[in-house]
Structure 1
Amino acid sequence: MKTKSVRRVLPLFAFMAAVAGAFAFGQGESKVLAPETGWINLPGQPCAVEVQCDNRSTGPLCTAIYQGTSHQAFGKSDPSVNICDKVLRMPLQNQ
Structure 2
Amino acid sequence: MQLKKHKTVLPAFALLLAVFSAFAFKSVGDEQLLAPENGWINLPTEPCAIQVQCDNTITQFVCTGIYQGITYQAFGKTAPLRCNKVLYRPL
1:87 aligned partner: 86
What TM-score does the superposition give when structure 1 sets the normalisation length?
Answer: 0.61
1:60 aligned partner: 61
How far apart are 1:32 and its partner, in Å?
1.9
How far apart are 1:41 and its partner, in Å?
0.4
What stretches of structure 1 of length at least 5 have no aligned partner?
1-22, 24-28
How far apart are 1:67 and its partner, in Å?
0.7
Give the 3-state SS of the residue equivalent to 2:42 in structure 1: strand
Number of equivalences: 67
Q: CA RMSD in A?
A: 2.2
What TM-score does the superposition give when structure 2 sets the normalisation length?
Answer: 0.63
Structure index of larger Rg: 1
1:48 aligned partner: 49
State the Cα deviation string for residues 15-70 of structure 1 (Å, max 9, x = none). xxxxxxxx7xxxxx642210000000001100000000001122300001111111
Distance in 2 (CA, whole Å) between partners of 1:83 and 1:31 is 21
Distance in 1 (CA, whole Å) between partners of 2:68 and 2:47 is 16
What stretches of structure 2 of length at least 5 have no aligned partner?
1-21, 23-29
